Every structure is written in C-alpha cells, then in structure tokens.
Amino acid sequence: MQACLTAVGVAAAMLIALSAWSADAMSQAAPAEGTARYFIPDAAASRVVTVANEGGAAAGIVILTEAVAVKETGPKDTIANFGEVYAFSPAFIAVHRDQPTQITLWNLQPDDYHDFMLEDRPGHALMHLRLEPLSKTSYVYTFHREGLFSFRCAVHQPEMSGQILVLPPR
C-alpha cells in the first residue's frame, strides 16, 4: 500500500512540475561556443544542495546521455525535421533529503559535448557542468530541501532534460 501511495505521489509531483515548467525555460538557447560559464554551487546555492568531488555516499545512480536520433544513423526524416535528438536516461530519479548520493554522468557520444545544468526553478541554475565526449563525471550531491529539481543539457533543448525528486529523510 505504501509503495502504491509513493508511486501516486511521485506521479502527481511529476505532473505538477511538468505543468509548471514554462515553454520559455525549456526553449532557452544554449550559450554561444566559448561563452558558457561552468560552476558548482556557490555559498547561497549550497543551502539547497551541496556538491562534493567525493565522500561517503549512501546511494548512487548513473545518468547516461543517449543518442535518440543522430546524423550518422538517422532516421533521416527525424534529423531533417528536428535535428539531432538526445536524452538523459533515466530522466527521473528520486533521492532523500540530507542523504549523500553519488550521481555519475556518462557522456556516451564520441563527438558531442553535453552539459548538466541543475535548477531549483526555471532559469535559476544551482550548478552547470560541461560533459566532455566519452567521459564520466561524478559528484556526491546532498540536497537540503525537499521538492522537485530540474536538470537539463542547455546545448540540446528542449528534449534533453530530467528531474530529481527530493523526498523526506528516511
């Protein structure tokens, strides 16, 4: 019964977040080449989430970059209509407040850069990382506030995005 209620709660949170996410925020253009600013949370953002290179993570997850449709493999009609399409997988994860969680980002593309921008509300980035081709990037995240946080690749919008639901402590 509790698992069912949790699933319903997660689904409701996802629907609320999706309806609240504005089309303007989803369609923001990526910064021009060489102008992007990459950063981890500053003092103010660290009240919401702290990020460390290493530490005693209680849980871990891998998020992959996924090529859905690329010029090398098509489908050609999709590429003609939408350009190259990428996604994060999984695009939704749940963590617990104040529980250190290692999140490892794998950029599986050999010739494409991605980035990872974590936001607590549309347009307000808490951190922004560059993901080099064929790379793994790991940090230990500790969220200090419950709620729904969005992440996205600013280079490949609107399709390359996801969410982190921060649940109460265990």
Instruction: pLDDT band for 125, please (50, 70, 90 cuts).
Output: very high
Give me the mean pLDDT over the 122-126 stretch: 92
| Percentage of the chain modeled with pLDDT above 70 | 79
| Percentage of the chain modeled with pLDDT above 90 | 63
Instruction: pLDDT band for 54, please (50, 70, 90 cuts).
Output: confident
Instruction: pLDDT band for 96, please (50, 70, 90 cuts).
Output: very high
Domain 2-167 has CATH 2.60.40.420: yes
Q: What share of the chain is helix, strand, coil (3-state, %, to 5)?
A: 20, 45, 40
Dihedral (CA of 137, 165, 4, 91) sign: negative
Q: What is the pLDDT of residue 35?
A: 61
**Which of 2-16, 40-54, 62-76 comes out lowest in average pLDDT?**
2-16
Q: Which residue has the tokens 């009609």?
A: 77
Task: Provide the 8-state DSSP code for 46.
Answer: G
Instruction: pLDDT band for 72, please (50, 70, 90 cuts).
Output: confident
Instruction: pLDDT band for 132, please (50, 70, 90 cuts).
Output: very high
Q: What is the pLDDT of residue 37?
A: 83
Q: Which residue has the tokens 């560059």?
A: 130
Q: What is the pLDDT of residue 34?
A: 56
Q: What residues contact 41, with CB distance under 8 A and at least 6 apart?
A: 48, 49, 50, 51, 126, 127
CA 41 – CA 93 distance, rounded (Å): 20
